[in-house]
């Protein structure tokens, strides 16, 4: 008996030591408290081992001391443990300090026992032939029991209170400890009163230590987790199906039943319906995510099905689950976003970017088929918008889009490139030029009673081998539009080598302009202007370019290019300066002639023309009236008010302002009365076109009369014959310019001519 218990106690001590060691090294916060408690449980067991294991009184007495002092340590560590263990419960944060003081006092009074003998003594007894030293308790021992039981009761109370207040799920955690403490406490009490020599309740101490160890460090509220996880699974928005290894469905959440329309909570039926809804392969067995599309009653549903194997500890298949997510909305949204990003909002056609990528793909995938790129431009769209309103404008754009749609066949790609431009790419042979030309010749937009003719031009570029950049192809198609001269009768233009050459020419000439001015390759030519008596009263300065490579260049070769890109400003400034230089010289030589210079509408955009010209005449010290300013009526096209003020300012400064090319554009005689000009230049070219010479004559006559009446001098240019000169003179014209007198000539030549006269 004694040996048996000695061995049991020894084993318990080892077990407790091991638990204490492990707990000490645990990463859990409660580890230290558990370690201390398990270590504290060792002394009472060790004490008892000594008590029962020795036949000598002194050892038994030492055993009792270890036992009792150990009990104080147990109580102390139990307090610490309780605080740590119950931390999460919101109760029992801390014990009052006097509890610890009491424990200290008790330990001290026990230690005084060898001197005072007030606490306990031992007596030898014989039980079943074996010697034991039994405890003889005295006052100090009763105090000790009072303290320990008191504290123990306090701890029990703390656990009890927590159990009453905590949720059911956590109750387990506390009640097991409480039950263990009550059982082992009673067991211990029984031994105290039984006065049996062997305290078997020490076994309880050991078991208690192990329980504490397990519950504190390894126990997880599995029931709680189960509940939570199954709640999550039940309530998640995806349908969940759990299968056993034989593919039998064993659990389905609400969404799963809803998806399979199984109402009687029959899992197996739900599993079967699921397979019927999709297919067998979703039970594929491996971890996978698959997509499935389901068509039911005209509705299309998109699903993402994730399957996952579940294995046990030994990696054997324990079953699998399927998580089915309805991604229909997501899919629709994606499709919508995709559509929005690739389609024009107003017309529903492809956007430019998308059209370009589509065309690039088609061209690379079908390189053997000759394709054309078509640039569609609505010519007078701004007028449509201004006159009929943007709503009608939008409608017109949609109508044009519909027209393109109507003619598009399979393999045609088309889209809206921008405001009033569209792009098309189609096989060359599919483009029916005649048919389109006819349709475009009377293209009308109708809405209710409103009807408006829109002018649509198509620029065509034939895709050549090696073409890759779609935007460049469209640029070329666009460029070809500039070759359309008779815009009401021609609607289709092709990009050809001529245009290609023109583009290269534009680029070359523009790049060289600055240098050409610096090197004086640009020179003013002077064309005489005569009066009614045939005397040369002045000249118009006209630019010429003596190009080192291309030779003599007339203005038509470069002026329109610079008018377009704004570089005309540089040309004109240079020409004004040249004119001033010449005038300054003439003034010195005592000549009276004036020089007219041209001012392009672009100059008014980019320059402060008035300041610029005033500064020039001041710099060269010439009389402003010697410098005549030629403007065209296009200058008045926008911001007429402001432009008129500028012309007025020029006139007030003493300059003579001339209206060039009168009759070529939209100007009317009526407009003349408001125009702040001194001279009207009427171009014979505009009149010569007319087949009815008599009519032309009448018009010129009237213009001259009217201008004379308004106090504006009339100048006819383009006078080529003596007859013209005489007739015009009779009509009252006082100034003349034209080949009849002389062509524009170099300055020196002009001066020599003057000299000779
Ligand atoms: P424009 O200002 O109307 O100049 C008159 C044009 O008519 C000149 O052509 C001149 O040579 C031409 N011409 C003169 N008499 C006759 C004639 O009897 N018969 C015919 N058929 N033509 C005649 P040019 O010099 O080739 O200039 C063409 C246009 O280039 C000018 O028309 C003008 O608009 C522009 N231009 C010329 N130099 C300059 C310049 O320095 N600055 C600006 N902005 N434009 C210029
Ligand atoms: Ca002119
Ligand atoms: Ca002119």
- Rg (Cα) of the chain, in Å, rounded? 55
pLDDT at 461: 95
The ligand minimizing its distance to the Cα of 715 is: 3
How far apart are the C-alpha atoms of 36 and 42, rounded to whole Å?
A: 10
Q: Is the CB of 527 under 6 A from ligand 1?
A: yes
pLDDT-based confidence at 89, cuts 50/70/90?
low
Which ligand 1 atom sits closest to the C-alpha of 568?
Answer: 44
Tally of residues, the chain:
757
Inter-CA distances, 680 with 277, 656, 663, 742, Å: 88, 11, 10, 20
Cα 324 from chain centre: 31
Chain position carrying tokens 């003594």: 121
Is any atom of ligand 1 closer than 6 Å to the C-beta of 555? yes
pTM over 0.85: no
pLDDT at 149: 93
pLDDT band at 665; cut points 50, 70, 90: low
The superfamily in CATH containing domain 513-756 is EAL domain (3.20.20.450)
Mutational pocket test of ligand 1: of 542, 605, 658, the residue with most ligand atoms within 8 Å of the beta carbon? 542
603 with 651: CB under 8 angstroms?
no
Which tops the pLDDT comparison, 488 or 494?
Answer: 494
Q: Where are the beta strands (DSSP E) in 248-360?
A: 249-252, 288-296, 299-311, 317-326
Substitution candidate for ligand 1 out of 555, 577, 613 with most atoms within 8 A of CB:
555
For residue 683, report the distance from its CA to the centre of ligand 2, in Å: 10
SS (H, E, C) 274-292: HHHHCCHHHHCCCCEEEEE
Q: What is the mean pLDDT of residues 441-464?
A: 90
- Residue identifier of the C-alpha nearest atom 35 of ligand 1: 555
Q: Is the CB of 738 under 6 A from ligand 1?
A: yes
What separation in Å is there between the alpha carbon of 410 and the centre of ligand 1?
52
The rounded distance, in Å, linking the Cα atoms of 162 and 165 is 5
* Inter-residue contact 536 to 754 (CB < 8 Å): yes
342 alpha carbon to ligand 3 midpoint, in Å? 50
CA 503, CA 81: separation in Å to the nearest integer? 92
pLDDT over threshold 60, residue 167: yes
Nearest ligand 1 atom to the CA of 719 is 18
User: So what's the architecture of 2-224 in CATH?
Assistant: Up-down Bundle (1.20)
Distance 716 CA to ligand 3 centre (A): 9
Give the closest residue (by CA) to ligand 1 atom 27. Answer: 555
Lowest mean pLDDT among 303-307, 575-579, 682-686: 682-686
Q: Is the CB of 575 under 6 A from ligand 1?
A: yes
Pairing of the two strands 413-418 and 492-494: unpaired
Q: For residue 450, what are the contacts with CB-CB under 8 A and spacing of at least 6?
A: 388, 392
Distance CA 71, CA 57 (A): 21
Fold classification of 236-332 is Beta-Lactamase (3.30.450)
Q: What pLDDT does residue 688 have?
A: 62
Cα angle for residues 241, 244, 249 (degrees, 5° grid): 40
Helix, strand or coil, per DSSP, at residue 386: helix
- The rounded percent of the chain whose pLDDT value lies above 70 is 96
- The predicted pLDDT at position 666 comes to 61
Give distance in angstroms: CA of 514 to centre of ligand 3. Answer: 26
Whether 600 is in the pocket of ligand 1, judged by its Cβ within 6 Å, is yes
pLDDT at 571 over 90: yes
Please name the residues in contact with 163: beta carbons below 8 A apart, sequence gap of 6 or more: 171, 174, 175, 178
**The dihedral formed by the CA atoms of 54, 56, 62 and 68, expressed in degrees to the nearest 10:** 60
- Given a cut of 70, whether residue 687 has pLDDT beyond it is no
| Rounded distance between C-alpha atoms, residue 330 and residue 301, angstroms | 11
The set of residues, in sequence order, having a beta carbon less than 8 Å from that of 343 and lying 6+ positions away, is 349, 350, 351, 354
Q: Provide the pLDDT confidence category of residue 473 given band limits of 50, 70 and 90.
A: very high
Q: What is the pLDDT of residue 568?
A: 96
Which ligand 1 atom lies nearest to the CA of residue 542? Answer: 38
Residue 660 Cβ inside 6 Å of ligand 1? The answer reads yes
User: So what's the pLDDT on residue 103?
Assistant: 92
Closest residue by CA, ligand 1 atom 12: 718
Distance from Cα 510 to the centre of ligand 3, integer Å: 24
The DSSP secondary-structure symbol of 343 reads B
Taking all residues of the chain, what is their mean pLDDT, rounded to a whole number? 89
Q: Which of 162, 163, 173, 147 is CA-nearest to residue 30?
A: 173
Q: From the CA of 542, which ligand is nearest?
A: 1
Beta-carbon contacts of residue 444 (< 8 Å; ≥ 6 apart): 451, 452, 453, 454
* Tokens 């009640």 -> residue: 175
In this predicted structure, the answer to whether residue 182 has a pLDDT above a threshold of 60 is yes
Element (H, E) at 596: strand 594-598
Q: Report long-range pairs for 365-372 (Cβ below 8 Å, ≥24 apart).
A: 367/465, 369/427, 369/428, 370/427, 370/428, 370/429, 370/462, 370/463, 371/425, 371/426, 371/427, 371/428, 371/462, 371/463, 372/425, 372/426, 372/427, 372/428, 372/431, 372/460, 372/461, 372/462, 372/463
Is-same-fold flag (2-224; 350-495)? no
Return d(Cα 740, Cα 726) in angstroms, integer: 11
* pLDDT band of 689, cuts 50, 70, 90: low
For the chain, give every domain's residue range. 2-224, 236-332, 350-495, 513-756
The fold of 350-495 is: Alpha-Beta Plaits (3.30.70)
Average the pLDDT over 91-111 and give the result: 86
| Closest CA relative to residue 195, chosen from 249, 150, 133, 251 | 133
């Amino acid at each position: 008996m004694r040996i048996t218990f000695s061995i049991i106690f020894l084993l318990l001590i080892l077990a407790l030591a091991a638990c204490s060691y492990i707990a000490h090294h645990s990463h859990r916060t409660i580890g230290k408290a558990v370690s201390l408690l398990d270590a504290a449980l060792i002394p009472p067991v060790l004490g008892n081992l000594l008590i029962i294991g020795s036949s000598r009184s002194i050892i038994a007495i030492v055993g009792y001391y270890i036992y009792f002092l150990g009990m104080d340590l147990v109580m102390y560590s139990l307090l610490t443990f309780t605080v740590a263990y119950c931390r999460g419960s919101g109760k029992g944060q801390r014990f009052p300090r006097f509890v610890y003081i009491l424990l200290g006092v008790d330990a001290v009074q026990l230690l005084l026992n060898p001197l005072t003998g007030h606490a306990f003594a031992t007596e030898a007894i014989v039980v079943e032939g074996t010697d034991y030293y039994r405890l003889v308790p005295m006052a100090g021992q009763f105090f000790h029991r009072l303290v320990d039981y008191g504290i123990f009761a306090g701890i029990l109370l703390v656990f009890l209170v927590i159990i009453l207040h905590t949720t059911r799920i956590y109750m387990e955690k506390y009640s097991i400890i409480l039950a263990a403490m009550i059982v082992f406490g009673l067991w211990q009490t029984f031994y105290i009163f039984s006065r049996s020599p062997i305290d078997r309740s020490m076994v309880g101490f050991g078991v208690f230590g192990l329980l504490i160890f397990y519950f504190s460090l390894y126990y997880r509220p599995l029931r709680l987790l189960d509940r939570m996880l199954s709640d999550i699974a039940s309530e998640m928005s995806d349908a969940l199906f759990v299968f056993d290894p034989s593919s039998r469905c064993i659990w389905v959440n609400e969404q799963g039943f809803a998806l399979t329309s199984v109402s009687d909570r029959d899992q197996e039926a739900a599993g079967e319906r699921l397979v019927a809804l999709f297919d067998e392969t979703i039970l594929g067995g491996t971890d996978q995510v698959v997509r499935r599309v389901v068509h039911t009653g005209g509705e299309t549903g998109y699903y993402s099905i994730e399957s996952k194997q579940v294995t046990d500890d030994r990696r054997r298949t324990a079953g699998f689950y399927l998580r089915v997510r309805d991604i229909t909305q997501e899919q629709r949204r994606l499709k919508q976003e995709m559509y929005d990003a690739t389609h024009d909002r107003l017309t529903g056609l492809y956007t430019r970017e998308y059209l370009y990528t589509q065309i690039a793909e088609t061209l690379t995938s079908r390189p053997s088929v000759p394709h054309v790129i078509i640039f569609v431009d609505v010519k007078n769209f701004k007028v449509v918008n201004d006159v009929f309103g943007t709503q009608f404008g939008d409608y017109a754009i949609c109508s044009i889009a519909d027209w393109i749609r109507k003619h598009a066949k399979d393999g045609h790609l088309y889209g809206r490139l921008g405001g009033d431009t569209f792009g098309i790419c189609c096989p060359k042979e599919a483009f029916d030029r005649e048919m389109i030309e006819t349709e475009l010749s009377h293209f009308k937009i109708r809405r209710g009673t409103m009807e408006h003719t829109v002018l649509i031009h198509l620029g065509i570029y034939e895709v050549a081998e090696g073409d890759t950049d779609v935007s460049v192809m469209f640029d070329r198609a666009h460029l070809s539009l500039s070759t359309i001269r008779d815009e009401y009768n021609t609607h289709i233009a092709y990009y050809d080598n001529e245009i290609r050459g023109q583009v290269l020419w534009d680029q070359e000439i523009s790049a060289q302009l600055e240098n050409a001015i610096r090197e004086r390759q640009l020179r003013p030519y002077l064309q005489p202007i005569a009066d009614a008596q045939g005397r040369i009263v002045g000249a118009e300065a006209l630019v010429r370019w003596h190009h080192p490579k291309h030779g003599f260049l007339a203005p038509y070769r470069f002026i329109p290019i610079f008018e377009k890109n704004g570089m005309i400003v540089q040309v004109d400034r240079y020409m004004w300066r040249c004119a001033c230089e010449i005038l300054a010289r003439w003034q010195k030589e005592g000549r009276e002639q004036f020089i007219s210079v041209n001012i392009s509408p672009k100059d008014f955009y980019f320059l402060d023309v008035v300041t610029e010209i005033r500064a020039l005449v001041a710099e060269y010290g010439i009389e402003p009236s010697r410098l005549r300013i030629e403007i065209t009526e296009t200058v008045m096209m926008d911001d007429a008010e402001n432009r008129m003020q500028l012309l007025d300012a020029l006139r007030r400064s003493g300059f003579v302002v001339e209206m060039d090319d009168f009759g070529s554009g939209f100007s009317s005689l009526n407009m003349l009365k408001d125009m702040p000009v001194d001279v009207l230049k009427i171009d014979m070219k505009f009149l010569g076109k007319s087949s009815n010479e008599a009519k032309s004559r009448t018009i010129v006559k009237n213009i001259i009369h009217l201008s004379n009446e308004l106090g504006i001098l009339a100048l006819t240019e383009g006078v080529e014959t003596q007859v013209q000169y005489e007739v015009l003179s009779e009509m009252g014209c006082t100034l003349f310019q034209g080949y009849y007198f002389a062509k524009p000539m170099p300055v020196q030549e002009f001066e020599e001519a003057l000299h000779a006269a």
